[in-house]
């Protein structure tokens, strides 16, 4: 999500850029320890020991043995194939989607495209309606679910599949003929905007070597903010979940602001609900209406102070319940919230599980995995007899990295279970939720968020009642145990070759010399034209290796795989040695393609966009500890961090650059590795309603300028990329 696509009347603020974490997390002892180790490192004492440890760890942690994963390992490269053998794409400000020579990119699914028979082709002029039967807007995370010729789930199918695609939010200016109307919102505009959100299940099929959407597929489906969804796990039925819509607290409507995704080992989609708080408004006197009870602390911590405006003003469209629900104030007289929507916001902020193959089973919010601004969900490699871990990030300034560990251990037959949502019940409702603490010596600790922890049950800022309260207010529980405040954890991904987990820390304009730590070590300034930006301007990618390669480990080692930077950045900023062929800023989307083990890095940037549009890079990473200790100076603060091996032309290359004013996000591949699907989100997002009559004033005209579809307005879209020689993508 970028900062520009908000209504002209909402202040235009990117919710990702608003920190709501005022907790002082680093404990005094941590600070003392850090200072001591910094001094030691400057003397060379701990530094050498740390390196020695990392070296021996690297030799022992990834050696396979009896815990070898049950997932298939990537097929060996063919003799003629060199991964990252392509010619890198140059940085560009052109309004084009550029891929390396020898590759072809084709748009297959753009905002407004029909998903059902009888729905008219998109006119793309702001007059299209019925978006609950069309592609939503702002394509984001995406997963591939193979289909056999007979239409059955088939994890190996490479020419027919269902794509599960998030439609994160909207570009209001292009959805309406003359742009959006200010509050009070017309009903038809509000309904259209609501329907543009959510998730799409879309069948794609390869015919004569080309993938296309199957418009009449019986699998096609839209899930919108109006879709009824079951609450599952620890918070189901809890008082915190009771609303006028669900007086027993077991259901809510919709999944909202869907950003990153995950694919479960049993073949379902996990969709992450990110900046949902901004859709709700809260009355200016709501604290008093609530009797200044503890819910006020919860609402504040999740970004809804009293008087907060809603992003799109849907609650102004009328008295109907589908609009009234966005008022998150106590307006009723009940003690339990069953006569209003004071608790409605507690129904958003989860990983929501959808069975893409079966429309008739319930969609479930997996509340036990915590409520926050979810991005992706990366599973540990399934190992028979071991629990499954799910890694998760909370994207807001100073928020945390989380892990879920199932109580049940993995059974191979569950990979092909026919009742996939019941399998989700098994692995995603019962288990332990942890938050990460990164230590200055390169180690880390997973701290369980459990009501039985006295730091949580005795927390003075918020009086937790039970475990349901802990998962619904996971941020507050993580505050209580002193988790590490990170530089906006975006997506995460697990390496199919090493099992290590990678997290993008996209950037943090609030990081400063007084708050840097070893895992978020940079605070500096960078110019963009006449403007100066500061903080961790370009972001970084941290990676973690669980102790003993065990998904249930409570300890890990970490280093920084790559620091984002510009090729001209000073050496103290460009710590990974990026050059013209691989420099980047604001890593966001992140995924490994299982067929090749390539790590794909996508950017959502506002710092380097004077030089280049957002992009995607391909990396062949090593593992934690393959680099060195480096000293980072931020203002008056000097500290040490652990940096992975420097990037080189054989390990990191720019693979594509997108059109103007967009971000590249979402990636999945066909199992044969010969096609990847990538999303372009919000091209031309800086366009204003005043520009609409003159297409030459649009911030972008893609994909119309690439020959796709009607009209001239830019559209978020899914692109399929193939190699002209039929080879695997990234070779």
* Distance, CA of 190 to CA of 318 (rounded, Å): 10
CB 707 within 8 A of CB 682: no
> In a 3-state reduction of DSSP, which class is residue 664?
strand
By CB under 5 A, tell whether 604 contacts Ca ion.
yes
By CB under 6 A, tell whether 16 contacts ligand FEO.
yes
**R_g of the chain computed on alpha carbons:** 24
Write out 387-447 in H/E/C secondary structure.
EEEEEEEECCECCCEEEEEEEEEECHHHHHCCCHHHHHHHHHCCEEEEEEEECCCCEEEEE
Write out 691-726 in H/E/C secondary structure.
HCCCHHHCCCCCCHHHCCCCCCCCCCEEEEEEECCC
User: Residues binding ligand FEO: what is the number (CB under 6 A)?
Assistant: 9
By CB under 6 A, tell whether 375 contacts ligand FEO.
yes
Q: Residue 588 or 685: which CB sits closer to Ca ion? A: 588
Q: Residue 128 or 490: which CB sits closer to ligand FEO? A: 490
By CB under 6 A, tell whether 394 contacts ligand FEO.
no
By CB under 6 A, tell whether 274 contacts ligand FEO.
yes
Edge-first strand order for the sheet with 587-592 is: 587-592, 599-603, 615-619, 652-657
What binding mask, one character per residue, do residues 461-500 give for ligand FEO by CB under 6 A, x or -? -----------------------------x----------
Q: Which does 274 bind (CB under 5 to 8 A by kind): ligand FEO, Ca ion, none?
A: ligand FEO
Q: Which does 95 bind (CB under 5 to 8 A by kind): Ca ion, ligand FEO, none?
A: none
For the bound state, the minimum distance from the C-beta of residue 712 to ligand FEO, rounded and expressed in Å, comes to 27
Burial category of 484 from C-beta neighbours within 10 Å (exposed 0-12, middle 13-18, buried 19 and up): buried
By CB under 5 A, tell whether 526 contacts Ca ion.
yes
- CB burial of 352-373 (b: ≥16 within 10 Å; e: otherwise) equals bbbbbbeeebbbbbbbbbbbbb
For the bound state, the minimum distance from the C-beta of residue 301 to ligand FEO, rounded and expressed in Å, comes to 18
CB 13 within 8 A of CB 20: no
Choosing from 588, 605, 669, 685, the residue that interacts with Ca ion (CB under 5 A) is 588
Q: Residue 370 or 496: which CB sits closer to ligand FEO? A: 370
The DSSP bridge partners found for residue 166 are 199
By CB under 6 A, tell whether 719 contacts ligand FEO.
no
Q: Residue 274 or 286: which CB sits closer to ligand FEO? A: 274
By CB under 6 A, tell whether 395 contacts ligand FEO.
yes
* Distance, CA of 472 to CA of 371 (rounded, Å): 5
* Cα angle value 520/374/403 (rounded, 5°): 70
What binding mask, one character per residue, do residues 229-268 give for ligand FEO by CB under 6 A, x or -? ------------------------------x---------
Write out 254-284 in H/E/C secondary structure.
CCCCEEEEEECCCCCEEEEECCHHHHCECCC
The DSSP output letter for 54 is: H
Give Cα separations from 324 to 201, 306, 332, 354, 703 (angstroms). Answer: 28, 17, 13, 26, 36
Which residues inside 527-556 make contact with Ca ion, applying CB under 5 A? Answer: 528
For the bound state, the minimum distance from the C-beta of residue 10 to ligand FEO, rounded and expressed in Å, comes to 17
By CB under 6 A, tell whether 519 contacts ligand FEO.
no
Choosing from 1, 7, 170, 678, the residue that interacts with ligand FEO (CB under 6 A) is 1
By CB under 5 A, tell whether 685 contacts Ca ion.
no
Q: Which does 517 bind (CB under 5 to 8 A by kind): Ca ion, ligand FEO, none?
A: none
* Distance, CA of 409 to CA of 424 (rounded, Å): 13
Q: Residue 163 or 581: which CB sits closer to ligand FEO? A: 163
By CB under 6 A, tell whether 605 contacts ligand FEO.
no
Choosing from 137, 168, 487, 526, the residue that interacts with ligand FEO (CB under 6 A) is 168
Q: Residue 375 or 559: which CB sits closer to ligand FEO? A: 375
Give Cα separations from 184 to 9, 323, 416, 427, 538 (angstroms). Answer: 11, 11, 49, 44, 39
Q: Which does 168 bind (CB under 5 to 8 A by kind): ligand FEO, Ca ion, none?
A: ligand FEO
Binding site for ligand FEO (CB under 6 A): 1, 16, 140, 168, 259, 274, 375, 395, 490
Binding site residues, Ca ion, CB under 5 A: 259, 526, 528, 588, 604
């Amino acid at each position: 999500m970028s900062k520009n696509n908000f209504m002209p009347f909402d202040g235009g603020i990117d919710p990702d850029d608003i920190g709501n974490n005022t907790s002082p997390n680093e404990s005094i002892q941590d600070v003392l320890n850090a200072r001591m180790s910094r001094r030691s490192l400057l003397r060379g004492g701990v530094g050498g020991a740390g390196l020695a440890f990392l070296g021996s760890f690297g030799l022992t942690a990834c050696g396979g043995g009896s815990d070898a994963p049950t997932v298939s390992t990537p097929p060996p490269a063919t003799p003629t194939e060199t991964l990252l053998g392509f010619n890198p794409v140059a940085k560009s400000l052109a309004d084009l989607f550029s891929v390396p020579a020898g590759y072809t990119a084709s748009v297959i699914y753009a905002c407004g495209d029909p998903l059902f028979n009888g729905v008219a082709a998109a006119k793309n002029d702001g007059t299209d309606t019925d978006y609950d039967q069309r592609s939503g807007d702002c394509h984001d995370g995406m997963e591939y679910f193979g289909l056999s010729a007979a239409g059955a789930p088939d994890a190996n199918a490479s020419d027919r599949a269902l794509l599960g695609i998030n439609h994160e939010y909207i570009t209001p200016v292009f959805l309406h003929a003359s742009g959006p109307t200010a509050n009070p919102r017309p009903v038809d505009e509000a309904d259209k905007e609501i329907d543009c959100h959510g998730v799409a299940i879309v069948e794609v099929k390869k015919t004569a070597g080309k993938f296309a959407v199957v418009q009449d597929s019986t699998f096609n489906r839209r899930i919108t903010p109006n879709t009824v969804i079951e609450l599952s796990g620890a918070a189901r039925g809890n008082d915190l979940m009771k609303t006028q819509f669900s007086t027993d607290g077991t259901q809510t409507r919709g999944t909202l602001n869907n950003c990153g995704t995950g694919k479960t080992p049993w073949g379902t989609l996990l969709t992450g609900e990110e900046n949902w708080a901004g859709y709700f408004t809260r009355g200016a006197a709501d604290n008093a209406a609530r009797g200044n009870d503890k819910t006020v602390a919860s609402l504040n911590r999740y970004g809804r102070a009293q008087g907060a405006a809603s992003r799109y003003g849907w609650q102004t469209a009328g008295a109907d319940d589908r609009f009234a629900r966005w008022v998150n104030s106590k307006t009723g007289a009940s003690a339990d919230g069953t006569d209003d929507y004071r608790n409605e916001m507690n129904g958003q902020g989860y990983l929501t599980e959808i069975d893409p193959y079966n429309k008739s089973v319930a969609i479930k919010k997996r509340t036990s995995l915590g409520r926050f601004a979810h991005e992706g969900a990366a599973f540990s490699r399934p190992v028979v007899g071991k629990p499954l871990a799910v890694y998760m990030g909370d994207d807001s300034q100073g928020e945390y990295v989380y892990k879920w560990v199932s109580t049940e251990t993995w059974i191979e037959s569950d990979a092909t279970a026919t009742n996939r949502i019941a399998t989700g019940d098994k692995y995603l409702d019962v288990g332990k939720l942890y938050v990460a603490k990164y230590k200055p010596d390169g180690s880390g600790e997973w701290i369980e968020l459990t009501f039985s922890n006295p730091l949580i049950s005795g927390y003075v800022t918020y009086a937790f009642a039970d475990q349901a309260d802990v998962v619904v207010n996971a941020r507050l529980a993580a505050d209580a145990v002193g988790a590490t405040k990170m530089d906006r954890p975006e997506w995460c991904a697990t390496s199919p070759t090493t099992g290590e987990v990678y997290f993008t820390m996209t950037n943090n304009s609030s990081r400063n010399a007084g708050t840097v730590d070893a895992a978020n070590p940079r605070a500096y300034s960078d110019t963009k034209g006449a403007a100066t930006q500061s903080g961790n301007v370009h972001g970084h990618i941290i990676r973690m290796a669980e102790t003993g390669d065990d998904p249930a480990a409570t300890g890990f080692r970490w280093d920084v795989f790559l620091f984002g930077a510009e090729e001209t950045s000073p050496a103290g900023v460009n710590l990974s040695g990026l050059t013209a062929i691989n420099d980047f800023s604001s890593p966001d989307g992140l995924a490994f393609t299982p067929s090749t083990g390539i790590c794909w890095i996508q950017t959502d940037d506002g710092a380097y966009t004077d030089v280049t549009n957002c992009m995607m890079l391909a990396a062949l990473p090593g593992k934690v500890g393959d680099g060195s200790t480096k000293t980072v100076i931020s203002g008056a603060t000097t500290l040490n961090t652990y940096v992975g091996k420097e990037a080189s032309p054989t390990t990191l290359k720019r693979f594509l650059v997108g059109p103007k004013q967009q971000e590249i996000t979402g990636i999945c591949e066909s199992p044969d590795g010969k096609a990847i699907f990538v999303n372009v989100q919000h091209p031309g997002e800086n366009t204003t309603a005043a520009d609409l009559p003159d297409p030459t004033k649009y911030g972008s005209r893609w994909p119309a300028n690439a020959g796709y579809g009607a009209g001239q307005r830019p559209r978020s879209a899914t692109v399929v990329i193939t190699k002209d020689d039929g080879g695997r993508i990234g070779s």
